[in-house]
Amino acid sequence: MTASPRKILLIDDDQLQCRLTQAHFKKFSQETFALDWAETYEDGLARLLGGDYAACLLDFQLGERNGLQLIGEAMAAGCHTPIVFLTAETAERVDIEAMKAGALDYLVKGEITSRMLERSLRYALNLGETLDALRRLATRDELTGLLNRREFERILAEESDRALRFGRPVALVLVDIDHFKRINDTHGHPVGDEVLRQVAQRLSEQARSVDRVLRYGGEEFALLVMETDQAAALDVAQRICETVKRAPIAAGDGVNLSVTVSAGVAVIPGDATSGTALLASADKALYTAKARGRDCAVAAG
């Protein structure tokens, strides 16, 4: 089955430029792309943020606003689509400003050839993939694929501030694998790694799309549950405990382990008035769960 061509978005208020770009695309030698055209700043930004494009060709002049402003808005919204900047100006300042804003390449309209455009798109796509891989390494735990400790601290601060500012609750569930050191000591670290991966997967299955599941460190995980009070968050934590122990973990070489976890729950507002205090409250509740014999969830307070 032939794969569908990757989609490229052209944001340009000149219809002639769209036709010229389509003509260039037909002459490409290495890959076929599908071109979509957005004629206005607003439509272009909305489509770009939709995340449905492999790359974007972005004009400098877009009515009263320009492509530099659009890149800034897109980046602020978390868009990482590779952008090739197009302009009729040859001034070096535009080149520098475009690259500083986040564009991966720069082309002057009057100088564009089919070969040049294809090369520029291929370069932007390859560099975009490299940058995505680097972002993943910086924000993801390599073993489990979950967001890492650095991202946990950033997201915790952001969501705590948002909860306090708008009066919307956010809950933190800390989860710790019971007797994990015993697993490593008895079966070895490769088995321990597989346990971590499968527990992470079971935790992720209990999270909604708006929630965040992270590896806090070692055998400890964190779940940020958005707009959830303490009772509902405790219910989530109890379901996590039940889900983990429901079925043994197949860790390879015929090793099947019955694994349990303990969980501590805290909420803003109610249990804390800052991200740091929220973490401390959830950690204290987790310690209480461990002291009660493990394989249970405990709420702060």
Do residues 159 and 213 make contact, with C-beta atoms less than 8 angstroms apart?
A: no
**DSSP assignments along 238-285, one per residue:** HHHHHHHHHS-EE-STT-EE---EEEEEEEETTT-SSHHHHHHHHHHH
Cα–Cα distance measured from residue 221 to residue 176, given in angstroms and rounded to the nearest whole number: 6
- The closest of 194, 270, 195 to 232, measured between CA atoms, is 270
Cα–Cα distance measured from residue 139 to residue 147, given in angstroms and rounded to the nearest whole number: 6
User: What are the b/e assignments for 161-199, b being 16+ CB within 10 Å?
Assistant: eebbeeeebbbbbbbbbbebeebbeebeeebbebbbbbb
Specify the 3-state DSSP secondary structure of 91: coil
Phi/psi zone of residue 252: left (φ > 0), alpha (ψ -120 to 50 degrees), beta? left
Cα–Cα distance measured from residue 284 to residue 107, given in angstroms and rounded to the nearest whole number: 57
Question: Nearest 10 degrees: CA dihedral of 79, 84, 85, 90?
Answer: 160
With 0-12 / 13-18 / 19 or more C-beta atoms within 10 angstroms meaning exposed / middle / buried, residue 10 is buried
Q: Which two tokens stand for residue 234?
A: 């405790």
Phi, psi of 168 (to 5 degrees): -110, 125
Annotated active-site residue in 73, 219, 220, 227: 219
Residue 219 annotated in active site? yes
Asked if residue 190 has a cis previous peptide bond (ω within 30° of 0), the answer is no
**Active-site residue set:** 219
